[in-house]
Amino acid sequence: MKIFEPIIINGNTIKNRIVLPPIVNFGWSNDKGMVSQKHIVHYERIAQGGTGLITVEATCVHPEGRIFNYQLGIWDDYHIEGLKRITDGVKRHGARIVIQLHHAGLLTRKAVAEKAFGPSVDPENARSNEMTTEQVRDLEQRFIDAAYRAYRAGFDGIELHGAHGYLLNQFASSVINCRTDEYGGRLQNRMLLAKNIIKGIKHLVPKDFIIGYRMAGCSPTLNDGIEIAKILENAGVHYLHVSHGGEKGINPVVPDGFPFNHIVYMGTEVKKHVNTPIIAVNQIKSAERANMLVKNGFADMVAIGRDMLTDPDWAIKAQKGEPINLCIDCKPRCKRYTKPESCPLWI
C-alpha cells in the first residue's frame, strides 16, 4: 500500500505517510503548562505503533492565549526539558515529531484571561479586544521564540495552528479581521502575521527544520482557503494540513459520490492548486480509505486521529492487514474533550 511508502519533507525522511494529528490531552498538564509523565508515555506508545509523523497537541505560545488553564505550554524556556522527554521517547521508535504551536486569540476562555485579544473586536463577544500593532508584533516574536524552543527540545519541526477559528485563522479570515494596519485589508496583509512568523523561524533554525501549517480549508470559503494555501506555499511552508475553519467557516458542498466528508474534500481541492505536500484529515478511519487518498494522488499523507487513540497500533495492524479497534464516534462529541480517560475504549 502506498501509505507505507516513505516521504521526504524538507529533507527529512518520514518512514510512511501516516500522521498522528494534534489532539489535546485534557487534564494532563498543570497551570504552568508542563509536560507530565502521561504525555511522555502516550506519545511514545503511538510511535511504537508505527506511525511515521507524530504531531504533539496544541501547545500555547502565550499564557494568556490558552483555551484553558491546563493546556500544554511552550511560552518559556522552562518547558524545554519536559518537551525533550517527549521527543526522546518518540525518536526511539524511528518516528518524526513536530509540535503544534497555538494561540486561541478571541477564543481564549474567561477562566484564562478576563480579556480575549484578536485581530478585531468580535461583536458577539463582549470580552473581545483588538490587538494593537505592537501587540501583534510581540505575538509574532512569541511564535518564533516558541519554535526555537521546539527546536532545542529535539522536535523535527513545528506546525502552526491556523485552523478551527483560532488566532492565525482569525487573522486570515475576512469576516473576522477588520484591521486597518498592515495586518488587515487584502488577503496578503491578513496573512502577514503568519508570513512573518514563518520567515522569523527560518532565520533561527537549521534548513531542514520542518514548518507545517494546519490551515482552514474554508476561511471563510474554500476559494479563500485555496488562496491562503498558495500564499503559505510562497512563504515556504513544508506541508499543509487541511482542516476546518471553526464556526465562521463556510463548509463547501461535497460532490455526489465523493467517499469522504467536506474536510477531506477541502484537502483534496487545495492539493490541486499547490505543490506543497498535503495532509488530509477527518474520519478517514481505515487503511483502505487512507490508501485510496494517497494512491490516487488526492493527498500526500493522511492523519488518523481518534482511531489511532483507540488503537495505537493502527499503522502496524494496517500494514499486516489485522483488524483495528476503531473509535465508536461518541455523540454529541468525543469524550476525550473532557479527559482522555473518559473514552469508552480507553485502555
Distances from the Cα of 11 to the Cα of 14, 231, 339, angstroms: 9, 22, 36
- Residue closest to ligand FMN (Cβ): 305
Smallest distance, Å, CB 269 to ligand FMN? 17
**Closest to ligand FMN by CB, 307 or 313:** 307
Q: Closest by alpha carbon to 245, among 212, 278, 230, 267?
A: 267
Q: How far is the CB of 333 from ligand FMN (least distance, A)?
A: 8
Closest approach of ligand FMN to the CB of residue 22, in Å: 4
CB closer to ligand FMN out of 231 and 284:
284
Catalytic residue of the set 43, 70, 151, 166: 166
At closest approach, how far in Å is the CB of 100 from ligand FMN? Answer: 6
| CB nearer to ligand FMN: pick between 184 and 212 | 212
The most distant pair of C-alpha atoms in the chain lies apart, rounded to whole Å, by 56
Could you give the CA distance from residue 238 to residue 306 in angstroms, rounded to a whole number? Answer: 25
Closer to ligand FMN by Cβ: residue 158 or 179: 158
Strands (E), the chain: 7-9, 12-14, 18-20, 53-60, 96-102, 116-118, 128-130, 157-162, 210-216, 239-243, 278-281, 301-303
Query: Which positions lie near ligand FMN, rule CB under 6 A?
Result: 21-24, 57-58, 100, 161, 163-164, 214, 243, 281-284, 304-307, 334, 336-337
User: Which residue in 277, 260, 161 sits closest to 216, CA to CA?
Assistant: 161
Query: In the block, which residue shows the cell 500526500?
Result: 300
The answer to whether the CB of 196 falls within 8 A of the CB of 183 is no
166 is catalytic: yes
Give every CB contact of residue 203 below 8 A, 6+ residues apart in sequence: none
Query: Smaller CB distance to ligand FMN: residue 43 or 130?
Result: 43
In whole angstroms, how close is the CB of 289 to ligand FMN at the nearest point?
A: 11
Where are the extended beta strands (E) located within 77-232?
96-102, 116-118, 128-130, 157-162, 210-216
Q: Please give the positions annotated as active site.
A: 166
